[in-house]
Copies of this chain bind each other. A is one copy, B any other.
Amino acid sequence: MNRREFILAGGALLAAGLSPKLIAASPTHNSVKDQDQTQALDQTQAPLKVLALVFDDYETLDLHGPIEMLGHLPSVDITLIGPKSIVRSYQGPRVVADRLLDEVVACDLLLVPGGMGTRKLVDDTRLLDWLRRQAKVSNKVFSVCTGAALLAKADLLDGVSATTNKMAYAWVTGLNDKVIWQPSARWVDDGRFLTSSGVSAGIDAALFYIAQTYGEAQARKIETLTEYRWNSDADKDPYAVIS
């Protein structure tokens, strides 16, 4: 039973004391045929480990958009990590960091949001050093918006095809000319690095990651569950930079 079915059942299972998370984690949810065989994770085993960086003046949706989509996977564990225990978004509301820098945490996906806070962090050697060490123990690194500025400044994207926020394109791309910057892309997937365009594009890239890892049917299921309209074509970038 997926969350939709659970909801439609009127909460009977909740009333019975069963956790929807436990129900959702049932390995029966994703048939093998739904999965991209090249990268499919075995969902009967450990949950997908997502580690998300937070810092003061991070951009709200850069973080919470992908978390919304990833958070509906059948088995997932999302952890926030930051330089202090309580971190304030650019929009005001605060989140709690579950882990503190400079700890590194082995994970399947490292999520690096952007936001005004990156303007200072590109010169924060402690943060950049942590990013380099953390990237080594992350199966995949996913930046949203100006999160790519941090990856670029840490030299993680050298020789990698990548994109970033199109409103901040000149600033970000000026930080490192060894990156193969893409001026027109909703997101770019290049091996271990997935980089999205600005803010909302992170939601679309997160669904791409889900499709890539668990199969498109899983991504479409989550799209429906969240009543989203997925911009599923990475090449269609309404905010492309035209030089």
Residues of chain A touching chain B, judged by Cβ–Cβ distance below 8 Å, are 3-4, 7-8, 10-11, 14, 20, 52, 59-61, 63-65, 67-68, 70-72, 76-80, 86, 89-96, 98, 116, 119-120, 165-168, 170-171, 174, 197-201, 224-229, 231, 238-239
Complex CA distance for A80 and B60, rounded to whole angstroms: 14
Query: Chain A interface secondary structure, helix, strand, loop or mixed?
Result: mixed
Q: How many copies does the complex hold?
A: 2
Contact of A94 among B96, B120, B200, B231 (CB under 8 A): B96
Question: Are B167 and A225 within 8 A (Cβ)?
Answer: yes
Task: A8-B171, A20-B116, A199-B225 are known; give 4 further A-B pairs, CB within 8 A.
Answer: A11-B171, A67-B91, A167-B225, A198-B226
Chain B residues, Cβ within 8 Å of A78? 91-93
Question: Are B95 and A94 within 8 A (Cβ)?
Answer: yes
Question: Are B14 and A119 within 8 A (Cβ)?
Answer: yes
Chain B min CB distance to A169 (Å): 8
Contact of A227 among B8, B77, B93, B165 (CB under 8 A): B165
Chain B min CB distance to A183 (Å): 13
Question: Are B119 and A11 within 8 A (Cβ)?
Answer: yes
Name 11 A/B residue pairs within 8 A (Cβ), A-sorted. A7-B167, A8-B171, A10-B170, A64-B65, A67-B92, A93-B98, A94-B95, A95-B96, A167-B227, A199-B225, A199-B228
